[in-house]
Chain A
Amino acid sequence: MLSSMNLYSRGDKLFVIINMILLGLFTISTLYPFIYITSLSMSSGFEARAGNVILTPMGFTLEAYKRVLSEPMFWISYKNTLIYTVLGTLTSLAFIIPGAYALSRPQLYGRRFWNLAVAFTMWFHAGMIPFFLNMRDLNLLDSYFGIIIGFAVNGFNIILLRNFFEGIPQSFEEAARMDGANEFQVLWKVFVPLSKPAIATVALFCIVSRWNGFFWAMILLQDESKIPLQVYLRQIIVELSDDEEFANTLMSAGYSFETVSAAIIVCSIIPILLIYPFLQKYFNKGILLGGVKE
Chain B
Amino acid sequence: MSGVRLDKIVKSYGAVQVVHGIDLEIKDKEFVVLVGPSGCGKSTTLRMIAGLEEISDGSLTIDDRVVNRVAPKDRDVAMVFQNYALYPHLNVADNIAFGLRIRKESKDAIKASVDEVGAILGLTPYLERRPSDLSGGQRQRVAMGRAIVRRPKVFLFDEPLSNLDAKLRTQMRAEIKRLHKRLEATSIYVTHDQVEAMTLADKIVVMQDGRIEQIGTPMELFLNPANAFVAGFLGAPPMNMINAVVAKGENGPIASFDGQTLPLPALPDLQNAEGRPIIVGIRPEYANIVTAPQPGSVNCTLNLVETLGSEALLHATVGDDQFVIRTETLGKIDQLDHVNGFTVDPTLIRIFDAKTGKALGGQTRVA
- Tell me whether A289 and B88 are in contact (CB under 8 A): yes
Known: A177-B73, A179-B98, A181-B102. A291 touches B86 (CB 8 A): yes
Is A180 in contact with B88, judged by CB distance below 8 angstroms?
A: no
Binary per-residue interface labels of chain B (108-143) against chain A in the complex, 1 for a CB within 8 Å, 0 otherwise: 000000000000000000000011111010010000
Q: How far is the CB of B230 from chain A (nearest CB, A)?
A: 30
Q: Which residue on chain B has the smallest CB distance to residue A192? A: B89
A-B Cβ contacts below 8 A, count: 89
CB pair A180 B52 closer than 8 Å:
no
Assembled-state Cα–Cα distance A181/B89 (Å)? 16
Question: In this assembly, does A277 line the interface, its C-beta being within 8 Å of a C-beta of chain B?
Answer: no
* Residues 273 to 294 of chain A near chain B (Cβ within 8 Å): 287-294
Contact A287:B73 (CB < 8 A) given known A169-B83, A178-B78, A179-B146: no
Q: Is B190 an interface residue (CB 8 A)?
A: no
Residue A224, interface by CB 8 Å: no
B103 within 8 A of A: yes
* Closest residue on chain A to residue B54 by CB atoms: A107
A242 at the interface (CB under 8 A from B): no
Chain B residue at smallest Cβ distance from A171: B85
CA distance A172 to B143 in the complex (A): 12
**Residues of B contacting A180 with CB < 8 Å?**
73, 99, 102-103
B6 lies within 8 A of chain A by Cβ:
no
Residue A175 CB within 8 A of the other chain: yes
Once the chains bind, are B83 and A171 in contact (CB under 8 Å)?
A: yes
**Which residues does chain A contribute within 8 Å of B52, judged by CB atoms?**
174, 177-178
CB-CB nearest in chain B for A172: B85
Which residue of chain A is the closest to B134 with respect to CB atoms?
A290
A167 CB → nearest B CB, Å:
13
Q: How far is the CA of A172 from the CA of B89 in the complex (A)?
A: 11
Q: Looking at chain A, what size class is its interface with the partner chain?
A: 20 to 34
Q: A171-B83, A178-B50, A180-B73 are in contact. Are A290 and B139 (CB under 8 A)?
A: yes
Point out the residue from B87, B102, B103, B136 that lies within 8 Å of A291, measured CB to CB. Answer: B87
Does residue A193 face the partner (Cβ distance < 8 Å to B)? yes
**Is A290 touching B130 in the complex (CB atoms < 8 A)?**
yes
Q: B89 touches which one: A171, A176, A177, A193 (CB < 8 A)?
A: A193
Measured CA separation A294–B83 after assembly (Å)? 6
Q: Which listed residue, B82, B87, B131, B134, touches A190 by the CB 8 Å rule?
A: B87
A residues in contact with B72, CB < 8 Å: 174, 177-178
A190 to B85, CA, bound (A): 11
Q: How far is the CB of B54 from chain A (nearest CB, A)?
A: 10
Any chain A CB within 8 A of the CB of B241? no
Assess A181 versus B73: contact at CB under 8 Å? Given A175-B81, A291-B84, A291-B85.
Answer: yes
Q: Which residues of B contact A174 (CB under 8 A)?
A: 50, 52, 72, 79, 81, 85
Q: B34 interface residue, CB < 8 Å from A? A: no
Is B247 at the interface (CB under 8 A from chain A)? no
Question: Shortest distance in angstroms between B87's beta carbon and chain A's nearest beta carbon?
Answer: 6
Return chain A residues, CB-CB under 8 Å to B99: 178-180
**Which one of B51, B77, B79, B88 lies within 8 Å of A287 (CB-CB)?**
B88
Contacts of A288 in B (CB 8 A): 88
**Do A290 and B73 touch (CB < 8 A)?**
no
B294 at the interface (CB under 8 A from A): no
Chain B, residues 5-43, CB within 8 Å of chain A (1/0): the string is 000000000000000000000000000000000000000
Known interface pairs A179-B99, A182-B73, A185-B102; A194-B89 also in contact (CB < 8 Å): yes
Q: Are A293 and B79 CB-contacts (below 8 A) given A179-B98, A287-B89? A: no
Residue of B nearest to A177 (CB): B72
Query: Closest approach, in angstroms, between the C-beta of A15 and any C-beta of chain B?
Result: 36
Chain B residues with CB below 8 A from A175, complex form: 79, 81, 85-87, 146
Contact in complex: A293, B78 (CB < 8 Å): no
Bound-state CA distance A171–B82 (Å) is: 9
Residues of chain B within 8 A of A189, CB atoms compared = 98, 102
Closest-CB distance, B151 to chain A (whole angstroms): 13
Q: Which chain A positions have C-beta within 8 A of B103?
A: 180
- Residue-wise, chain B 143-183 has the 8 Å CB interface mask toward A (1 for contact) of 00010001000000000000100000000000000000000
Tell me the minimal C-beta distance from A195 to chain B in angstroms.
10
A131 CB to nearest B CB, Å: 40
Shortest Cβ distance from B117 into chain A, in angstroms?
A: 14
Is there an interface contact between A290 and B87, defined as CB atoms closer than 8 Å?
no
Whether B98 pairs with A176 at a CB distance below 8 angstroms is yes
Across-interface contacts of A294 in B (CB, < 8 A): 83
Instruction: Tell me which residues across on chain A come within 8 A of B84, comparing CB atoms.
Output: 291-293
A150 CB → nearest B CB, Å: 34
For A172, A176, A179, A182, the residue with the greatest tally of chain B CB atoms inside 10 Å of its CB is A179
- Contact partners of A176 in chain B: CB under 8 A: 87, 98
| Given A171-B85, A291-B86, A291-B87, 5 new contacts (CB under 8 A) | A169-B83, A182-B73, A287-B88, A290-B88, A290-B130
9 contacts between A and B (CB under 8 A): A175-B85, A177-B72, A178-B50, A185-B102, A290-B133, A290-B134, A291-B84, A291-B132, A293-B82
